Structure 1
Amino acid sequence: MTRAGAARGRWIENWDPEHEQRWERGGRRVARRNLVLSMAAEHIGISVWSMWSVLVLFMSPRIGLDFAPDEKFLMVVVPTLSGALLRLPYSRAVTRFGGRNWTVFASLVLLVPTGLTTYFVQRPGTPLWVFLVIGALAGAGGGNFASSMRNITAFYPQRHQGWALGLNAGGGNLGVAAVQLLGLLVISAFGDTHPAYVAACYLPLIALVSVLAALRMDNVAVIRTEPGAQREAAANPHTWWISLLYIGTFGSFIGFGFAFGLVLQNQFGSSPLEAASFTFLGPLLGSVARPLGGRVADRWGGARVTLWAFAGMAGGIGVLLVATRSDSFALFVAGFTALFVMSGVGNGSTYKMIPAVFARQAEEAVTSGRDAAAAFARSRRLSGAVIGIAGAVGALGGVAINLAFRSSYGELGTGEPAFYAFLGFYGLCAVLIRVVYLRGAGAAGALPGSARVRSSHVR
Structure 2
Amino acid sequence: MRRGGRWIEHWDPEDERFWQETGERVARRNLVFSVLSEHIGFSVWSLWSVMVLFMGPEYGIDPAGKFFLVAMPTLVGAVLRVPYTFAVALFGGRNWTVLSALLLLVPTGAAALVMEPGTSYTTFLVVSTLAGVGGGNFASSMTNINSFYPLRKKGWALGLNAGGGNVGVPVIQLLGLLVIGTAGAAQPRLVLAVYVPLIVLAAAGAALFMDNLAPVTNDTGAALEAARQPHTWVMALLYIGTFGSFIGYSFAFGLVLQSQFARTPLQAASLTFIGPLLGSLVRPVGGRLADRFGGARITLGNFAAMGLATGVVIHASAVRSLPVFLVGFIALFVLTGLGNGSTYKMIPGIFQAQAVRRGLTGETAAAYGRRLSGASMGLIGAVGALGGLAINLAFRQSFLTAGSGTPAFVAFLFCYAVCGAVTWAVYLRPVARERRAARRGAAGAGAAGTGTGTPGTDGERRPVYAEV
Q: Same fold (TM over 0.5)?
A: yes
**What is the SS of the residue equivalent to 1:441?**
helix
TM-score, L = length of structure 1: 0.94
Aligned AA for 1:39? V
Report the equivalent of 2:212: 219
Structure 2 CA distance, aligned partners of 1:394 and 1:341? 17
Are 2:52 and 1:59 equivalent residues in the alignment? Answer: no
Report the equivalent of 2:299: 306
**What is the SS of the residue equivalent to 1:308?**
helix
Structure 2 CA distance, aligned partners of 1:373 and 1:34? 22
Structure 2 CA distance, aligned partners of 1:429 and 1:457? 16
**What is the SS of the residue equivalent to 1:440?**
helix
Aligned AA for 1:110? L
Report the equivalent of 1:352: 345
Q: Say if 1:372 and 1:160 are closer, same or farther in 2 by CA, change over 3 A.
A: closer
Are 2:392 and 1:402 equivalent residues in the alignment? Answer: yes
Query: Residues 108 and 206 of structure 1 are in contact (CA less than 8 Å); yes or no, is this contact kept in structure 2?
Result: yes
Aligned AA for 2:82? L
Structure 2 CA distance, aligned partners of 1:373 and 1:295? 24
> Which of the residues 118, 133, 138 maps onto 1:125?
118
Structure 2 CA distance, aligned partners of 1:344 and 1:456? 24
TM-score, L = length of structure 2: 0.92
Are 2:355 and 1:362 equivalent residues in the alignment? Answer: yes
Query: Residues 176 and 280 of structure 1 are in contact (CA less than 8 Å); yes or no, is this contact kept in structure 2?
Result: yes
Report the equivalent of 1:74: 68
Are 2:51 and 1:84 equivalent residues in the alignment? Answer: no
Report the equivalent of 2:24: 28
Structure 1 CA distance, aligned partners of 2:6 and 2:464? 31
Structure 2 CA distance, aligned partners of 1:131 and 1:145? 24
Query: Residues 437 and 443 of structure 1 are in contact (CA less than 8 Å); yes or no, is this contact kept in structure 2?
Result: no
> Which of the residues 124, 127, 136 maps onto 1:134?
127
Are 2:430 and 1:440 equivalent residues in the alignment? Answer: yes
* Unmatched segments (≥5 aa) in structure 2: 435-449
Deviates more, 1:66-75 or 1:434-443: 434-443
Structure 2 CA distance, aligned partners of 1:375 and 1:392? 26
Query: Residues 233 and 380 of structure 2 are in contact (CA less than 8 Å); yes or no, is this contact kept in structure 1?
Result: yes
Deviation at 1:458, TM superposition (A): 3.5
Structure 2 CA distance, aligned partners of 1:401 and 1:109? 27
> Which of the residues 255, 267, 271 maps onto 2:248?
255
Query: Residues 431 and 465 of structure 2 are in contact (CA less than 8 Å); yes or no, is this contact kept in structure 1?
Result: no
Are 2:271 and 1:278 equivalent residues in the alignment? Answer: yes
Deviation at 1:371, TM superposition (A): 6.3
Query: Residues 408 and 414 of structure 1 are in contact (CA less than 8 Å); yes or no, is this contact kept in structure 2?
Result: yes
Deviation at 1:120, TM superposition (A): 1.0
Query: Residues 103 and 148 of structure 1 are in contact (CA less than 8 Å); yes or no, is this contact kept in structure 2?
Result: yes
Structure 1 CA distance, aligned partners of 2:153 and 2:177? 36
> Which of the residues 146, 151, 156 maps onto 1:163?
156
Deviations for 1:269-327, whole angstroms, at most 9, x for unmatched residues?
10001100110000000001100000000001111101111111111111111111221
**What is the SS of the residue equivalent to 1:14?**
coil
**What is the SS of the residue equivalent to 2:377?**
helix
Deviation at 1:379, TM superposition (A): 1.8
Structure 1 CA distance, aligned partners of 2:401 and 2:243? 26
Aligned AA for 2:204? V
Report the equivalent of 1:99: 93
Are 2:259 and 1:266 equivalent residues in the alignment? Answer: yes
Q: How does 1:288-437 map to 2 (within 5 A)?
A: 288-366=281-359, 370=360, 373-437=363-427
**What is the SS of the residue equivalent to 1:339?**
helix
Query: Residues 149 and 168 of structure 1 are in contact (CA less than 8 Å); yes or no, is this contact kept in structure 2?
Result: yes
> Which of the residues 16, 19, 31 maps onto 2:15?
19
Query: Residues 307 and 413 of structure 2 are in contact (CA less than 8 Å); yes or no, is this contact kept in structure 1?
Result: yes
**What is the SS of the residue equivalent to 2:303?**
helix
Aligned AA for 1:117? A
Structure 1 CA distance, aligned partners of 2:217 and 2:323? 50
Structure 1 CA distance, aligned partners of 2:403 and 2:424? 36
Report the equivalent of 1:46: 42
**What is the SS of the residue equivalent to 2:119?**
coil
Deviation at 1:455, TM superposition (A): 11
Deviation at 1:440, TM superposition (A): 3.0
**What is the SS of the residue equivalent to 2:167?**
helix
Structure 1 CA distance, aligned partners of 2:361 and 2:396? 53
Aligned AA for 1:306? T
Query: Residues 166 and 291 of structure 1 are in contact (CA less than 8 Å); yes or no, is this contact kept in structure 2?
Result: yes
Query: Residues 186 and 198 of structure 1 are in contact (CA less than 8 Å); yes or no, is this contact kept in structure 2?
Result: yes
Q: Say if 1:212 and 1:320 are closer, same or farther in 2 by CA, change over 3 A.
A: same
Q: Which runs of 4+ in 1 moved over 4 A?
A: 370-373, 448-451, 454-457
* Unmatched segments (≥5 aa) in structure 1: none
Equivalent pairs, count? 446
Q: Say if 1:303 and 1:177 are closer, same or farther in 2 by CA, change over 3 A.
A: same
Q: Say if 1:456 and 1:27 are closer, same or farther in 2 by CA, change over 3 A.
A: farther
**What is the SS of the residue equivalent to 1:224?**
coil
Deviates more, 1:321-330 or 1:137-146: 321-330
Q: How does 1:104-119 map to 2 (within 5 A)?
A: 104-119=98-113
**What is the SS of the residue equivalent to 1:228?**
helix
Query: Residues 289 and 344 of structure 1 are in contact (CA less than 8 Å); yes or no, is this contact kept in structure 2?
Result: yes
Report the equivalent of 2:445: none
Deviation at 1:184, TM superposition (A): 0.5
> Which of the residues 179, 191, 195 maps onto 1:202?
195
Query: Residues 158 and 456 of structure 1 are in contact (CA less than 8 Å); yes or no, is this contact kept in structure 2?
Result: no
Deviations for 1:86-123, whole angstroms, at most 9, x for unmatched residues?
0000001111101000000000011111011112112x
Deviates more, 1:252-261 or 1:406-415: 406-415
Aligned AA for 1:396? L
Aligned AA for 1:150? T
**What is the SS of the residue equivalent to 1:191?**
coil
Query: Residues 448 and 458 of structure 1 are in contact (CA less than 8 Å); yes or no, is this contact kept in structure 2?
Result: no
Deviation at 1:442, TM superposition (A): 7.5
Aligned AA for 1:430? G
Structure 1 CA distance, aligned partners of 2:187 and 2:381? 33
Report the equivalent of 1:287: 280
Identical-residue share of aligned pairs (%): 57
